[in-house]
Chain A
Amino acid sequence: MLGNLFKKREINPIKHLSFESYLKTFVDIDSEPPKESITVKQKLNQIFSNSFDFSERSFHLPNNRPVYICYFSALISQPQLEESVIKPLLHHFDHVTTSENLGSIITVTKYERVTDWNMAVQSVLDGNILVHIDQLDPVIVFLAEKLDRSPNDPTTEYQVYGAKFSFIEDSRKNVGVMRQFIKDPRLKSKGYDVGVVSNTQVAVLYLEQYCEPKVIQHLDQLIKSYKKEHLLTIGQLTKYISKHPNSIFPQATMSERPDLVAYSLIQGKVVIFLDNSTFCAITPVTLMDLLETSEDHFFLVRWNLLFIRILRISSLFIGTILPALYVALVAFQPELIPTTLTISVAQSRVQIPLPATAEAILMMFALDVLVEASIRLPSFVGQTIGIVGGLVIGTAAVEAGIVSHTMVIVIAFTAIALFTTPSWEFVSSWRIIRYLLVGVSTLLGLYGLTLAVGFLIVHLCKLDSFDKPYMYPLAPFDKYELKRFFLPLR
């Protein structure tokens, strides 16, 4: 079934800009570092030249053996370095004979012998410490203390009942959070370092036996084939792993809520965490998944859930089609509007200089500008923008005779209706479709609108996310799954 999963064309990074080629100008990356600590020090100083945060310490053991230690100061725990590495070395210097027996002297959880230059440089960049006792092999002491913070309330996915807890920027800790939600050995995690320059840690989390093995296998291949210089956001990765990157609909969703992720894992989905991102990606998704929130399962009364889901679906239709329908009816088929409403609409439009289409596009554009402007502003300025924009658009534009009352009602209702959809990415997709539908209605009226909605449905039916049909359970039709969507079992 998953045989026809897609292949990605590999994009190789520009050769002379790669990490390896940079290192090669100083050292032979595959060779072992020399045993003389002074040489290692010189090489590392060349590699990390012009980096003021690159710290090193050189000292002699009481038996006069030189020791060289280097690290990035902001990424390690300095007190631990002192207590666990330097102090034991100074006290038990006479036991230091090989790099293997170093473990019985220094009191750290994990250390490793350096096998090549690549590993040495990479480990230091990861926030670990390179310790080199002269004439012994250099070792990496894993004492990285990354900058992180404690989990906060979710800032974008507000809920009434849901857990007041969101992910942080550390993918490993985020995986740990998920282990608190699902205490099962079948919860598997795979780690990757992706991006030739950024070397970002990526974690793929899934529940074995729940998740389709081929999806994991394919995802594994895809992530391994990611050869770009950097991977800084989750969006870059989801775009890369999407089968239809040119489609207007997202084939993965993002979340910062552990409860939603736990629910998705149980549904057999795969979750991708990325370092430095508070959002994780969930895939494969269907259209119905994008209308769900984890909070939906908090309802004590199942009919509440039914009502909310019907509300969201109908709002999606209204939010997408209403302006186009208005334009089609006013400009092409006014006989389909009830007579008294036609008179009201005609009265509100009588002194408006713009045709209904221009009015609709103007209002929709103004609204989107407002939304875009208020998103990135601090909340106090954002509110001001909302009030000023609302007043200007709602009242002043009508009083100035630029837009009609009815159009304000249509656009305001449209905007509010679409925001009932939980996924912001999904809302943005439908927002674009709204413009297209208005365009088609302007040219071809209701006929065009019907045609465009038909095309849209065909596209949605054709779309899939990791071979899972996007319209499931509507197409292919599965009445039991559909029933479970609206009325989950008690």
Chain B
Amino acid sequence: MMQKRNVQFIILGFFVLFLTGCATDAREIDQRTMILGMGIDITEEEEFIVTLQVPVITPSDGGAISANEFETITGKGPSLWDAISNIEAYTPTVLFFGHLKAVVIGDTLARQGLEDVLDLLDRRAPLANQVYLAIIRSQNEVDEFLNQESRLISLPALYLERFFNADQKLSRSKEVRLFEFRRDTNMVGNAGTLPFAYSDVNIVIEDMALFHKGKLVGEFTGSQAGKSELLKERKLDNMNYTLEIELEGVEVTVSSRVGTTVDIDFEKTNPVKLTLDVSGKAEIVYLSEHDFQTSNEHLRKIEEKIEGKIKSDVEDVVKKAKDLNVEPWLIGHHIWATDYDYFKTLNWDETGWKESDITTTVEVEIEQTGQRGVLEKKKLGR
């Protein structure tokens, strides 16, 4: 009995020891070349250029961590994988993609199509599918962007990560992770958006690139990017508006911050009739007439002005998408999922989206006037 138990225990012990996938993975941190950022582009000769951004690990001096210095290593190859393999020849230790934060893709490659790139990124297991994607504007080469040293944070890959992690209050761009982009482009619309980045003196991240069937087909600039996010996420916080408005005969400049949500409904007609009901809560952050006491009437006027602006912006971005015949906001997918038979009648890809009849309504309410200085209390007693 005892012997049987011992045998069982030994067999179990063998399983424990040999059913281990990671025993051969043991490699110390200092034996890995940590890659934080990767840039991918294509040359005119159809050769892939891959640039890897690697922090230079120097011994820390007396406990204080020295400033992060980095190097970029560029390799070329007929395929993306060949280009990466070529880089391995230039590094002393094994390339380690576990900490890859961002993949930036050149404008040229983006226009040719990202399918090859995304497939490789998606298939490689060590590469987290949480990496941020960005498109580098044509004014910069990809390796030039990755070489850019920001005065704020030295590693551009970390800059991108911090920028998106911090949930920037300017709705001019939106982070897109690898898996999100894959998911969006797999939907019926075959469309997705990625943020644009470029560097001159500083690193700048703004505007969104619009992709259809894996190719860069257009872009949403400025407030269009914000509205695009509103339609995609059905929600957008912190849109900034500065408006000129006449109140009691005085020209007043009003700055406001608006948080909006949108409710999208469709009617089963052909072409489809879509209603975009935007509602928002606003906060006045600046009023050029400091002593101006805002009344309900004033607020109504400001609200109307903001509503008008939002409406025109939304219509503007919808028009742009219609002109390109790309629908990146999953509206088509919503119809597809709700009523598939009806969706089939629409011929969404060809004419369904382009010819859709869209009505936009906007309702904004100012919740905070920011008039903390106004004393509403009456003095009691003497």
Residues on A close to B: CB < 8 A? 330-335, 339-340, 342-352, 355-356, 405, 442-448, 451
Contact = CB atoms under 8 A, between A and B. Distances in A.
Interface in B135-178: 158, 161
Contact of A451 (B16, B36, B57, B63): B16
B16 A345 contact: no
Interface string B57-72: 1111001011010000
B300 interface: no
Given A335-B128, A339-B36, A350-B57, A345 B25 contact: no
A347 B66 contact: yes
Interface string B116-141: 00000000001010000000000000
B26 interface: yes
B65 A330 contact: no
Given A330-B28, A335-B128, A447-B21, 13 more contacts: A331-B26, A331-B29, A332-B25, A335-B98, A335-B126, A342-B29, A343-B34, A344-B60, A347-B66, A351-B59, A355-B28, A356-B28, A443-B17
A334 B20 contact: no
B30 interface: yes
Interface in B83-102: 96, 98-99, 101
Contacts of B16: 451
Nearest to B57: A346
Nearest to B128: A335
7 A-B pairs with least C-beta separation: A335-B98, A347-B60, A445-B22, A346-B57, A346-B29, A339-B99, A334-B29
B60 A447 contact: no
Contacts, number: 82
B290 interface: no
B55 interface: yes
B32 A334 contact: yes
Interface string B10-38: 00000011001111011111101010100
Contacts of B26: 331-332, 442, 445
Question: Per DSSP, are chain A's interface residues mostly helix, strand or loop, or mixed?
Answer: helix
B63 A342 contact: no
A442 B22 CA distance: 11
Contacts of B21: 447
A346 B20 contact: no
Contacts of A442: 26
A351 B61 CA distance: 12
Contacts of A448: 20
Interface of B: 16-17, 20-23, 25-30, 32, 34, 36, 55, 57-60, 63, 65-66, 68, 96, 98-99, 101, 126, 128, 158, 161
A349 B59 CA distance: 7
Contacts of A350: 30, 57-59
Contacts of B65: 343-344, 347
B25 A445 contact: yes
26 contacts: A331-B28, A332-B22, A333-B22, A333-B98, A334-B34, A334-B96, A334-B98, A335-B96, A339-B36, A339-B99, A340-B158, A342-B34, A342-B99, A343-B68, A344-B65, A345-B29, A346-B30, A346-B34, A347-B59, A347-B65, A349-B29, A356-B28, A443-B17, A444-B17, A444-B20, A451-B16
Contact of B30 (A339, A349, A443): A349
B8 to A, nearest CB: 15
Contacts of B27: 331-332
Which one of A339, A340, A352, A446 has the greatest number of beta carbons of chain B within 10 Å?
A339
Contacts of A349: 28-30
Nearest to A442: B26
Contacts of A333: 22, 98
